[in-house]
Amino acid sequence: MTRGVCAAGDPTTADVGARILRAGGNAVDAAVAATFASFVAEPGRVHLGGSGMGHVFDAATGRATAFDFFSATPGLGATRPERLDFRAIEIDFGDAQQWFHVGRASVAVPGNVFGLAAMADVHGRLPWAELLAPAIDLAATGIVLNEAQADTVRLLEEIYTLEPGIASVFAPDGRLIGVGDRYFVPGLSDLLRTIATDGVTAIRTGAIAREIVADQRTNGGLLTARDLADYEAVPTTPVAVRYRGRDVLVPPPPSTGGLLIAVGLRVMQAFDVAALGRGSAEHYALLAETMAAMDRARGEWAVARAAAPDARAAVDRLFADDACAARVDAVRAGTLRARRDDPASPRGPGETTHVSTLDADGNAASITNSSGIASGFLLPGGLILNSILGEADLHPQGFHVDPPGARIETMMAPTVVCNDGALELALGSGGSSRIRTAMLQVISNVLDFGLDVDAAVAAPRLHLEGTRVEIEAGFDPGAVDAFAAAGYAANRWTIRSAYFGGAHVVGRDAEGRLHGAGDDRRGGAVAHA
Active site residues: 352
What pairs with residue 407 in β-bridges? 72
- Report the candidate in 377, 374, 371, 349 with the shortest Cα–Cα distance to residue 162: 377
State how beta strands 63-69 and 234-236 pair.
Answer: antiparallel
* Measured distance CA(314)–CA(410) in Å, rounded: 16
Distance CA 242, CA 463 (A): 23
Q: How far apart are CA 34 and CA 9, in angstroms?
A: 10
The full 3-state SS of 325-363, as one line of letters, equals: HHHHHHHHHCCCCCCCCCCCCCCCCCCEEEEEEEECCCC
CA neighbor of 190 nearest in space, from 234, 137, 242: 137
Residue 475's contacts (CB-CB under 8 Å, 6 or more residues apart) are: 279, 284, 460, 462
Q: Is 111 helix (H, G, I), strand (E, B) or coil?
A: coil
Q: Which residues pair with 64 in a beta bridge?
A: 57
Instruction: Please name the amino acid found at residue 207.
Output: A
SS (H, E, C) 378-417: ECCCCCEECCHHHCHHHCCCCCCCCCCCCECCECCCCEEE
How many angstroms separate the CA atoms of 423 and 54, rounded?
Answer: 16
DSSP 3-state of 204? helix
| Residue 249: strand, helix, or coil | strand
CB 120 within 8 A of CB 28: yes
Longest dimension (CA), the chain: 63
